Amino acid sequence: MDVPGLPARRAALRLGDAVLRRGETLDQAAAGALQGLSDPDRALARALASEVLRWLVDLDALIDSATRQRLADDAKARAVLRLMLAGWLRLETPPHAVIATALPLLAGGPRRLAHGVFSTLVRTAPRLPSAPKLPPELAKRWGERSAAIAAGLAQPPPLDLTLRDATQTAAWTERLGGVSLATGHVRLPRGTAIERLPGFADGGWWVQDLAAAIPARLAGAGEGRRALDLCAAPGGKTLQLAAAGWAVTALDISAHRLERLRDNLARTGLAAEVIVADALAWEPDGAFDAIVLDAPCTATGTCRRHPDVLHRIGPRQIAEMAELQQRLLARAARWIAPGGRLVYAVCSLESEEGEVQACRVTLTPDPIRADELPAGLAPTPEGWLCTDPSMLAEAGGLDGFFIARWRA
């Protein structure tokens, strides 16, 4: 019989291996690695793997400080020690419980080594820094922004909700016991059970990071005009546009991911035309007064909630995404009605996916204004918005996004 807590740690080990060795996302890996676990064990495995990935450089430095001969990066003993240290230093699991639940993972292997290294570190009582250290290649890529971004990664993000009726912001903030950082937004502590919250069943709100909610806001009021949510899944922008009075067409290549949008449309009572199609092959039956293109990207701006992107995204993935974004932008620009707006967004911190793409668009810039943004955020001199996880840190931060807007 497994020691209580051991199945979760075995699953966490599989999750880390899938990300670091095979380049999978945590979400992709979870389908197989977490199969058969109880809900508490699933949550624990995901939390352990996430903390390992978030603090990987610092955890490895501790391990190396306590070994005479450096363990190989892909050694199982190193992977287990990372889990042990993450459980102890980040999840505050007592050392004796860490040992009891982790050493069985090395059955037939270097258990004594792992036990010795961990015990040595427990005696020296190390502390992790206030912010994770970024992998060297990432720090080089992000340059002078690296320290600020890293500071925003120390804690997983809170829970952000977008309201169906923005005029009820004060009422929902009080009812849910949260805080609001913008009209139509409520923020709650992480770990909140979403389905149990007031307003879930009757569609009063949906989950959406504060930064992710900005692009659709920048389309303005719909007043019955036509809007296209290009690359719409999982659907938060479609719901926003519909709630703002747009006649929305929601297009995405993934039928599976659009099922979540259909469910949320039904739950909220909002309406949209949902189309499964490849945006690079599809042609609309007319022009749109607004297009929101939240383009496929490397998603490095979501590193607070998806720390796997810190380790599996490199120049090849960035170049592939940038090429796709350029093609999507070129098509979207053709479909805007005269006087209409195009909003482009990526949840990426890479300039190739943001600033470089924006400079290629030949439409008339429609600069983002400070009064359109949550308090504490400001547009760049070019009229773009660039957010990163260090911003609004005192209120819990937000994802990294690049957003730009034009008029036809």
Catalytic residues: 347
Query: Rounded to the nearest 10 degrees, what angle do helices 26-33 and 6-22 cross at?
Result: 140
H/E run at residue 78: helix 76-89
Whether the CB-CB separation of 400 and 151 falls below 8 Å is answered with no
Whether the CB-CB separation of 104 and 3 falls below 8 Å is answered with yes
Q: Report in angstroms the alpha-carbon separations of 343 from 106, 218, 219, 266, 289.
A: 51, 7, 7, 26, 11
Whether the CB-CB separation of 143 and 349 falls below 8 Å is answered with no
C-alpha to C-alpha distance for 402 and 341, rounded to whole angstroms: 17
CB-side exposure of 403: number of CA atoms within 13 Å?
28
Non-local (6+) Cβ contacts of 128 within 8 A are 55, 58, 89, 90
Residue with tokens 């419980």: 97
